[in-house]
Structure 1
Amino acid sequence: MNSVHQLDELVKEYLLFRGFINTFRAFEQENKTDKDKSFQADKIIDELSSYISNSDINGLLEYWQYLHIRYFSRLDGRFFGSVKKFETCLLRYYLVYATQHKRKDKIVEFFDTFGAELNGNPEWTKWFGLPFSKNPVSDPNFEPFFTKQWLDTFTVSLHNFLNAIFQNMPLPSLLCFNIDRLHRQTLQNEIKDLHRVIENLKSELETGDHEISTLKQKVARSEHATGYRRRRALSMVEHKEKNSNGVERLSAPSSRAKNQVSASVPVSRSVTPSKQHDAGSVNSNHNNKASQSPRSLPEERAISPISEYTFDEEDEGELQDDDETFIINSQELYLRHTSGITLAKFSCEGSLIASCDADNLVKIWSDSGESPGLEINNHEYNILSMEWESRSDKFLFFGTDERIIRMYNQESKSVVHEFQMEERLPRVNQICCSPAEPVFACSGSDVKIRRDNPGTGSAAGSSATSSALVSWDIKTMSIQGTFWLDTPSKSHAVPIETIKFNHNGKMLVTGDKTGYIRIFDIRKLSPIMEWNISSASSTINANKVGSGIVCSTLFSFDENSIYVVDESGQFSQCTLSFPFPTTFRKRTVSASSSRSTNSTATNVIGNNTNSNDNSNRGLSHLAPPPRAPMVAFSPDTEHLVCVGGTGGCEGMIYQTSNGEQVQSLASHSQSLTSVDWSATTGNAILTASTDGTLRLTKITKSELNH
C-alpha cells in the first residue's frame, strides 16, 4: 500500500495526457476528501483523534461506521469481537478526553444520546457513574483508562489491526502491476550489486593467482640455486678428504652438511630432524662405497605466515627417524606482530591463541583461520602478565603495571570488568586461573623487578619492598584472600615468579626468586608447606648447582611431586610423601640448554650478556613481563618444552623422568621470549620470538613410544 500515492500521481498524469480535464478535477477533489487516507493506518487514526479532540461524537461514529462498512464487515466472523472491542475503547477514549479537558456537558450529552442503547451492557455499567465522580483520575473504576500506557496500547493495537487489513486486501490489477514493477526494479538493483561484488572477487582472485605464481617461481629458483651450492660444497669437501687420506671419509662431512641443512631450514611444514646417517661407509678393503647427498629446502618458506609444504614418503623417511618420541606434522610461522613478542598463550580449549608484543598490542587469533582475529590496543599501560580463563575460551585476563587486571570478553570484544589491586601493589607479575572454580590468583609487587644479579639466589636482584599473592573471586569480583611476602626487615620483598593450580583448583604451588617453593590452600590462601630448593640441593650435594631462581613450578600428573625448573635450566623433582621434601632428585636438563635458557631469560629484560652473539642484538628496546613463560609442560607432565639452542632461538623438548632431550623444534632468527604447550590435546606447541614471529608446531606422539 505504500505505492498508492505514487500510483495516484501516475493516474493524474495520464488523465492530463489524455485531456480528461473534468475527470482530472473530479479525481483530485475526491482525493482531497479521501476517507481511506491512501490506506495509511496512521492517517486514519489521526482522523479519529481529530473528531475526539473536537468532541464531535456524531462525526466520530459516522467515520467509524464508514470503516466498518468499507473494511470490517468483509472480515472473517472470528474478527467481529475484536472490532467491537476497538469501538468500545474508542468511545471510552472520547469520554476520557472530555473529562481531562473538563467538557462535562459533552459527557452528559453522550449518555443522553446513547444511554438507552448502552443500558444493560455490563461493560458500560460502571461508566454511567463517570459524570458524578468527583475525581475520576483517582477512582479505581476509571484510573487505568487515564494512563498513557492504556492510550498507547490502544493506539498501537488499532494501528496494527488496520495495517493487517490493508496488507491482506485483494488489490486491483493496476496496483499489483505497479508493485510488481517496483519489486523487479529492486531485484535489478540487487543483481547489479552482486555483479559488482563478483567482479571485485574475480579481480582479487586473479591478483592472488599472480602472487602465488610469482612466489612459486622464486621458490623454484631458490631451491635450484641452494641445492647447487650445497652439492658443490659437499663435493669439494669429499674430494679434499679423499686426496688427503687416500680413502673416502664421508661420514663426518655428510653429517656436518646435513646438520647445517637442518639448522637453516625453518620451513612452515617440516618433519623432525633425524639422527644423521653416514653418507658413505668404508669397509676394510675399500671396495664398497656409498654416499647420500643432503636434501635442501628453501629458506624463503620461513617468511610465509600461513603455508604448508607436503613431502612425499621418500622425503619423510629421510628426515624423520623411526625412534623419535614425537612426530612433527607441521611447523607454521606466523607474522602477526611488528615488534617483539612478550607473551603468547593457548586458550583453555586450544582453539585460540593470544599474543602480546612490546607495543602492548594483544592479538587473539586461530591457526585454522575460521575467525578474522581480534586486536586489543593497550597504550595507556604496560601488560606484564596474561592468562586465559581455564574453563572456557571466553575470557582473557591482562595484568598491568598500573595495579589493574582487565577481564576481556573475546566474544563481545569488550572489557567486562577491571580488578583493582592495592596501591602498594601496582605491578601484576603473574596470573593463573583455577581449572575448576571461578577463581584466579595473581602475584603483585610495588616496583620493577631487576634481574641484573640473577645468579645470587637472593633478594639482592630485586628492588621490590612489597609483594603479595592475591586470590580473586570472579563471581563476586572481589578479593578472596591475600598472602604478603614481606620479609621481617620490611626492607625488601621477593615477588612470586610462577603460580600453578592443581587439577581440582584446591591448591596452588608458587616459586620465587630466592628459590622458595610454597604450596597454598586456596580457600584460606595460607601455605600448607614450603621449602627452598637451594637449601635442599646443598644438603644433598655440597657443590651447589643451579641459580636457585625459580622459573617454573608445576604439580606432577599424579600430584605426588612438584616439578621445578630454575633460571639456569636446572630441573628438580620433589616428592610430597613426607611433611618436608626429604626426597629431592635433581637433574640438569642440558648444559647447552641451561646456558641458553639463562642467557635468554636475562636478555628478555633487555640485558644482552653476550655481545658477540648477533642473534641477541636489538633486545634492549623491549619491555617484557617480569618473568616470561620460558618453560611449558605437556598435559601429562611427561615432557616439557623450554628455550634452548644457540642463542636461545629453538624450542627443546625434554623428558621429565630422566631429564633427557628427546626433540628439538625449528629455530627462530632471534631469541625466544615465550613457549606454551596446548593443555587440552597436547598436540601443539607455540614458540614466540623477539623478531615478532610465532611458530605453531603440530605434533603427535610416536606409536613406538606409547
Structure 2
Amino acid sequence: MGSAVERTDEHVREYLIYRGFTSTLKHLDSDMKADKEKGFRVDKIIDQLQLFIHTFDLNGLKDYWGYLDRRLFCRLEDIYRPTVSKLRTSLFRYYVVYTVQLKNLEKTQEFFQRQAQELQGKPEWRDWFILPFMPAPEQNPLFSPYFSRQWSDTFLVSLHNFLSVLFQCMHILFFDSEVQRTTCLQEENDQLRHMVCLKGSMGGIPGSIIRKLNQARLFFQMPEKRGESGDPEPHLEGGTTSSDLIDPPPPSQTQVSGEGQRGTGVLGVEQPFIKLSQEEYGEHHSSIMHCRVDCSGRRVASLDVDGVIKVWSFNPIMQTKATIMSKSPLLSLEWATKPDRLLLLGSGVGTVRLYDTDAKKNLYEMAIDETHQRILSLACSPSGTSFVCSAAAHAGPGRSGSVTETVPRLPNPLSVSGQLLLWDTKTVKQQLQFSLEPGPVAINCTAFNHNGNLLVTGAADGVIRLFDMQRYDCAMSWRAHDGEVYSVEFSYDENTVFSIGEDGKFIQWNIHRCGVKQSENSLPQDATGPFVLSGYSGYKQVQVPRGRLFAFDSEGQHVLTCSNNGGLIYRLNSTSDSGLEKVLPLGGHKAPVVTVDWCSAMDCGTCLTASMDGKIKLSTLLAQKS
C-alpha cells in the first residue's frame, strides 16, 4: 500500500508540473507534509508514535491514535476490535514505562491524573495506579516484564505487523488494478531481460524485443532529462539514450551505440555491462553489517548494527517479508542451502539461531561455546545439512570487538582466542572442532567450494587455511596478509582463492602450490576498511569489516568491491599493469559501502551494495558479450 501511494503521488506531481499548475502543486506538497497517515508507510507511523512518547507529548499521542482509530481502525470488522484495544493499552503502558525509566515523575503522575476517569473502570489498569508511588517498579514482579527490552521490542513488532496487514487488506485508494499491472509489466520485463542476456550482444536483439524492454524499463524509472518536445528522454549508463535502443541503428553501428559506446566508454575500456536500473531498500535505520542473497536469488537477508534483520524480496517488486529483532547482539548471518528458506543467525553471546523465513519463527537456538561467545562467521555446506561456525572470545581492553568502534584496533589480534566448529542443523549437535595451528585464533571469514569438499578460512593472524572436508583436517595454510584477513572466496574454476586483508591487498592464491600468488593488487581503504563515516561537530563512526567485501559475477571474470559512494566493478585477469581494470562504478550511495553481494541466479545479474547509512542499493545489470 505504501509503495503504491508513493508511486501515485509521484504521478500526480508529474502531471501538475506538466500542466503548469504550480499553485495546486504547492497545496499538494503542503498537504503531504501534514499527512497523518504518512503515505500508508508503517515505519513512518511507528516513528511518529515514538516521537510523541520520547517528547512526553501525551496530547499528541492520544490525538494521533484517535485519528488512526477514526480513519482506519473503525473500518475493521468487530472481531478485530479487541486487538486494537490491546494495542492501545500496550501503547499507553509503553508511554508510562518510558516516563518512569527517564525518572520523569511529573509526567508519570500527569498521565494517571488525566487518564483516571477513563482508566479506573478497566481491570487491565487497576494495579497500575500504584506505579508512581513505587520506589523501584522495574524490580516488582508485576511490572518488571514491561521494563524489559524484549517486551518493548515485541510490542513494536506486533504493532508494525498489525498495521502492515491492515494496509494490505484495505482498499482505501483502490490500487489493486495498478499493482497488478505493475506486477505483470515487471514479470514481462524480467523475461525480456533474460532473452536479451541469451542473445549475448546488442547487435543480435530484434527491435521488437528492444522496444518492449525499454517500454517496461521506462515504466519503472523516472525520467531525468526531457527532449525538445517535452517527452522523457531517459539516459542509460555510458551515455546511451532510450531512443538509441527503441530505434536501433543498422547492424554495422549497433556495437557502437550499445553499452557506453563500446571501446570508448567513460573509463576508457570496453564496458561489459549496462546498468538497467538501480533501486533502494531503505528499511534499515543504522549501518549495515551483512547483506546476502539466498541460493535461488529470491530473498535477501540484511543485518544492521542495531541487531535488526530484514528479509526481503526484489522480484517482481521490492517487499519486506519478515523483520527479526533480537534482544542479544548479532554479528553474522548466512542462508542455509537445503532448504534455502532457513537463515542462520550468529550472536555475540555464544548462540546460533535457525530462523524459518516462511513461517517467520525461530526453529531452535544452539548454544555454541560459553568461552568463545562472538560468532564471527557462518558458512553452510552446499551438500548436506552441516555448517561451519567461527567463534571467538571477547576482545581485551582497548579493542571492543564490536562492529562499530571509535578507537583503533590493537595491532596484535593474536591475543584473541577462537575456535572453528562443524555443526549439523538436523541433529542440532556439534560434529567436530577443527585444529587451528599454531594455536587457537579468531577466524574472520569462511567459504565453501561448489560441492563442499573444500573450506577456505581467513583469520586474525593473517593466515589462510584450506581444509579438506572429507578428512576434516587442514590441507595447507600460509601467511597471506600483514594484519587480519577480512574476506576470502574461491575463484570461478576453484583452482585459486581470492582474499582481502587489513593491509589493503587483494590477492589471488594458487591452492595447488601453497602460498604462491597468482596476482596481487592494492585497493583503496574505502574498499577494504575499516570504514569511516564523519559528520558534524566531530562525529566519527568507524566500522570494522564483517560482511563480504567482494563478490564475483556468474562467470568469475568480474569482481564487485566496496567504495565510498557505491560499488565498483573490476575486470579480472586483465593484461593491464595493475591487474584490475575498473569497468563500471555503480554509485548511488551517500555513505561508505561496507558489504556487497552479486546475485547471478539469472543471466541478468543483480548487485547489492549496503552502506553505513542503512541504505541498500540494488543495481540490475545487463551482461554484454564480447
Q: Normalising TM by the smaller chain, what interval?
A: 0.5 to 0.7
Q: Say if 1:211 and 1:330 are closer, same or farther in 2 by CA, change over 3 A.
A: closer
**SS class of match (1:650):** coil
More helix by percentage: 1
Amino acid at match of 1:502: N
Confirm or deny: 8 A CA contact 1:554 1:562 kept in the other structure.
yes
Instruction: Report the Cα distance in structure 2 between the residues aligned to 1:365 and 1:352, rounded to whole angstroms.
Output: 6
Letter in 1 for 2:243: E
For residues 572 and 370 of structure 1, the distance between their equivalents in structure 2, rounded to whole angstroms, comes to 37
Given that residues 447 and 463 in structure 1 are in contact (C-alpha distance below 8 angstroms), is that contact kept between their aligned partners in structure 2?
no
1:170 — aligned with what? none
State the partner residue of 2:85.
none
The answer to whether 1:655 aligns with 2:600 is no
- Give me the whole-angstrom Cα distance separating, in 2, the residues matched to 1:219 and 1:346: 40
Report the residue type matching 1:471 in the other structure.
L
Match runs of 1:431-442 below 5 Å: 431-442=378-389
1:628 aligns with 2:561: no
Query: Which residue in the other structure is 2:602 paired with?
Result: 681
* Structure 2 residue 135 is the aligned partner of structure 1 residue 213: no
- Say whether the 8 Å CA contact 2:373–2:392 is kept in structure 1: yes
For the residues of structure 1 that align with 2:19 and 2:460, how far apart are their CA atoms? 51
- Provide the C-alpha distance between the structure 2 equivalents of 1:559 and 1:507, rounded to a whole number of angstroms: 10
* Correspondence list, 1:510-525, <5 A: 510-525=457-472
Q: Size of the alignment, in residue pairs?
A: 385
1:114-133 alignment runs, 5 A limit: none
Question: Which one has the largest radius of gyration?
Answer: 1
C-alpha separation in 2, matches of 1:368 and 1:478: 36
Q: Distance in 2 between matches of 1:520 and 1:627?
A: 22
Asked if 1:694 corresponds to 2:616, the answer is yes
CA separation in 2, counterparts of 1:616 and 1:318? Answer: 47
Task: Give unmatched runs, 5+ long, in structure 2.
Answer: 21-188, 190-221, 226-233, 247-256, 263-269, 575-579
The 3 A distance-change label for structure 1 pair 314 and 554 is same
- Relative distance call for 1:388 and 1:526 in structure 2 (3 A) is same
Residue number in structure 1 paired with 2:242? 312
Distance in 1 (CA, whole Å) between partners of 2:509 and 2:3 is 59
Shift of 1:486: 7.6
Structure 2 counterparts to residues 128-277 of structure 1, below 5 A: 209-214=8-13
Question: 1:396 touches 1:410 (CA, 8 Å); kept in 2?
Answer: yes
Relative to structure 1, the CA distance from residue 429 to residue 558 in structure 2 (aligned partners, 3 Å threshold; closer, same or farther) is same
Find out whether 1:594 has 2:524 as its counterpart: yes
Tell me whether 1:321 sits opposite 2:261 in the alignment. Answer: yes
Q: Deviations over 1:259-313 (max 9, x none)?
A: xxxxxxxxxx9xxxxxxxxxxxxxxxxxxxxxxxxxx9759xxxxxxxx998523
Distance in 2, Cα, partners of 1:587 & 1:204: 45
Match of 1:669 in 2: 590
The answer to whether residue 413 in structure 2 is matched with residue 462 in structure 1 is yes
Matched, 1:528 2:475: yes
Once residues 346 and 551 of structure 1 are traced to their aligned partners in structure 2, the CA distance between those partners, rounded to angstroms, is 20
Superposed, which structure 2 residues align to 1:537-548 within 5 Å? 547-548=482-483
Counterpart amino acid of 2:425? I
**CA distance 1:205–1:563, shift in 2 (3 Å):** closer
**Which residue does the alignment assign to 1:430?**
377
Contact 2:259/2:273 (8 A) holds in 1:
no
Cα deviation, 1:81-113, whole Å, max 9, x if unaligned, reads xxxxxxxxxxxxxxxxxxxxxxxxxxxxxxxxx
- Separation in 1, partners of 2:536, 2:569: 21
Partner residue of 1:387 out of 321, 326, 334:
334
CA distance in 2, matches of 1:411, 1:655: 37
Structure 1 stretches lacking a partner, 5+ long: 1-200, 222-268, 270-295, 300-307, 535-546
- Structure 2: distance between partners of 1:329 and 1:616: 39
Report if aligned partners of 1:684, 1:697 keep a CA contact under 8 Å in 2.
yes
Instruction: State yes or no: 1:571 paired with 2:506.
Output: yes
Provide the C-alpha distance between the structure 1 equivalents of 2:537 and 2:495, rounded to a whole number of angstroms.
39
Change (3 A) 1:345 1:649: same
Please state how far the C-alpha of 1:526 moved relative to its aligned partner.
1.8
Q: Is the partner of 1:703 in helix, strand or coil?
A: coil
2:362 maps to which of 415, 418, 421: 415
Compared CA separation, residues 207 and 628, structure 1 to 2 (3 A): closer
Aligned twin of 1:365: 312
Structure 1 vs Structure 2 CA RMSD: 3.8
SS of residue in 2 equivalent to 1:385 = strand
Q: Distance in 2 between matches of 1:338 and 1:487?
A: 41
Cα distance in 2 between the residues matched to 1:650 and 1:205: 27
Alignment-derived partner of residue 90 in structure 1: none
Judging changes above 3 Å, is the alpha-carbon distance between structure 1 residues 360 and 313 closer, same or farther for their aligned structure 2 residues? same
3-state DSSP class of the match of 1:596? helix
Secondary structure at 1:212 match in 2: helix
8 Å CA contact retained: 1:344, 1:353: yes
2:64 is matched with which residue? Answer: none
Task: Indicate the residue corresponding to 1:345 in structure 2.
Answer: 292
SS in structure 1 of the partner of residue 524 of structure 2: helix
Query: 1:471 matched to which residue of 2?
Result: 422
Q: Which has the higher strand share?
A: 2
Please point out which of 388, 400, 406 is paired with 2:353.
Answer: 406
Q: CA contact under 8 A between 2:355 and 2:361: conserved in structure 1? A: yes
CA deviation map 1:459-503 (0-9, x unaligned): 844375420111111221111111254865xxxx53112101011
Quick check: 1:451–1:462 contact (8 Å CA) kept in 2?
Answer: no
Q: TM-score, normalised by structure 2?
A: 0.55
Equivalent position amino acid for 1:627 in 2? R
Percent identity, please.
26
Distance (Å, rounded) in 2 between the aligned partners of 1:509 and 1:486? 14
Q: One-letter code of the match for 1:596?
A: D
CA drift at 1:377: 3.4
User: What per-residue deviation string (whole Å, max 9, x for no partner) do you get for residues 43-79 of structure 1?
Assistant: xxxxxxxxxxxxxxxxxxxxxxxxxxxxxxxxxxxxx
Distance 1:506 1:325 in 2: 32
Contact kept? 1:513, 1:548, Cα under 8 Å: yes
Instruction: Report Cα offsets for 1:186-210 as digits up to 9, x if no partner.
Output: xxxxxxxxxxxxxxx9x99899645
Match of 2:365, SS state, is: strand
Structure 1: how far apart are the matches of 2:312 and 2:287? 17
Tell me, in whole angstroms, the C-alpha distance in 1 between the residues paired with 2:593 and 2:416: 30
Q: For 1:367-407, what per-residue CA distance to the aligned partner results, in whole angstroms no more than 9, with x for missing partners?
A: 12568533333341111001111244310111110111111
Name the CA distance, whole Å, in 2 between partners of 1:219 and 1:570.
52
How much does 1:419 deviate? 1.5
Q: What letter is aligned with 1:657?
A: N
The question of whether the paired residues in 2 share the 8 Å contact of 1:349 and 1:392 is answered with: no
Is 1:585 the counterpart of 2:515? The answer is no
Distance verdict in 2 for CA 1:210–1:329, change over 3 Å: closer
Structure 1: distance between partners of 2:624 and 2:581: 17
Secondary structure of the residue that 2:525 maps to in structure 1?
Answer: helix
- In the superposition, the TM-score normalised over structure 1's length comes to 0.49
Distance 1:616 1:220 in 2: 44
Distance change >3 Å, CA 670–CA 297, structure 1 → 2: farther
What letter is aligned with 1:511? Answer: G
In the aligned structure 1, how far is the partner of 2:258 from the partner of 2:306? 42
**Of 632, 641, 644, the match for 2:560:** 641
2:259–2:272 CA contact under 8 A, matched in 1: no
